[in-house]
Amino acid sequence: MEEGGGDIKLAKSRKEAKVKKPRSSRESGNEGKSEERKKSGKTGSESRKKLYRSTKNRMIAGVCGGIAEYLDADPTIVRLVWAVVTVFIIPIGILAYIIAWIIIPEK
């Protein structure tokens, strides 16, 4: 019988306990980002990465080098992946490279 009485007391104490309302992911995410911006002194447009064609890591037009810099990857790996995809999977890769060459600005 004592166990049942303890359960009732526990249930009452749970009801009496203050329950914090969880914040939505938007609210918590925005606060963290704004604090990071304040600490770094950067505004929203300055903290974003932008995709440019590379002037350092270029073989033809710097498209793969720019993608590698954007992704913080090795340019050789990006070039190999691009070549394999172009040759074996999607032959339209050459056209995509030319379009990227035209669209992506040079740094």
CB 61 within 8 A of CB 50: no
Name the pLDDT band for 107 (thresholds 50, 70, 90).
Answer: confident
**pTM higher than 0.75, yes or no?**
no
DSSP annotation of 61: S
Q: 69-91, pLDDT tens digit by residue?
A: 999 999 999 999 999 988 888 77
Helix axes 93-103, 63-71, angle to 10 degrees: 80
Closest to 36 measured CA to CA, from 24, 27, 44: 44
Distance CA 42, CA 2 (A): 61
